Structure 1
Amino acid sequence: MNSAVTSRTLARTDSVRPFKAGAYGFVLLGIGHLALSAAAATATQTSERRAVDTVMRESTFALLGLERTVLDVFNGMSIAMAFFSITCGLLILAAVRHAPALVQRRTAFGWCALAVSLAVLVVSVLLLPPPPIVVLTVTSCAFGLSLRRATTVSAHAAEAA
């Protein structure tokens, strides 16, 4: 019997995997949001929810010549942000697939993803229910871990020399 350990350990420098996990988190956040919005729209509403929707329908405002109800803006912003979250995650995944060096080194690409994730996490903690808080905590940790594992640009320059 061979007692040598042959298990493969994850290299500390693997910054791509956690970054992809963060990107998938953005996609999951958007899809989950759309699914919950659809479920809420088709669910039987409570009397309190009907009253709120009525008030939101009756409250209108005009901006740049367009009149909208508060309910229109609420639903429109919600759906638009879900699509933006999905698209952002998919674009990040495509970029990393075609140019993994974007996250193997500490670049602005990685810092931007972390900054956006943290900013939206703060908004979520202040204004939203637990599901986005949980997902955005995971995405922020994933992007942060990716940056921690990434090498600096000067380290790559030294390797090339």
Structure 2
Amino acid sequence: MAERIVVLLAALALVAGCGGPVAGTARPVQLGDGERAKFKEYYERVNKAGDEGASQQAKLLKDTQHPDFRQKTCDLRGATIKVEPTWTTLRADADWTPAGEKSHPSGAVYVVAVTITIRQKDQIIGSQIGSMHVVLLDDEVYGFAPCLGG
């Protein structure tokens, strides 16, 4: 069990983008209400799916995986994540590429500070503050599998 928790916490660290600092200068993004609502809805859907169970959240994360990186999915091993963004930190991050990748994602890339809590069934097994990347592409919001370093 301890080994499983270590693996899940390592996945959480990668989700949070804790592999290093985020490049660039933090400047609030000037998004319209429609775009900002799409980002908020994305995280609400992720959290709602997690409330419904690990398989529902895994399906949603797979379905909303950025199209350029569909083959890069991860197994959270029955755990779920809850993501609480700090919206005042949302900013563009045009130079970002997922960890271990050479190509930049299609679309407009944004980063936001988040608090991520990972649960195994009804038990919290970790919480961390970090950053997550999301992309607005063809009027849809896409994310990245937790193992890609969010």
TM-score (norm 1): 0.27
Structure ranking higher in strand proportion: 2
TM-score (norm 2): 0.28
Structure ranking higher in helix proportion: 1
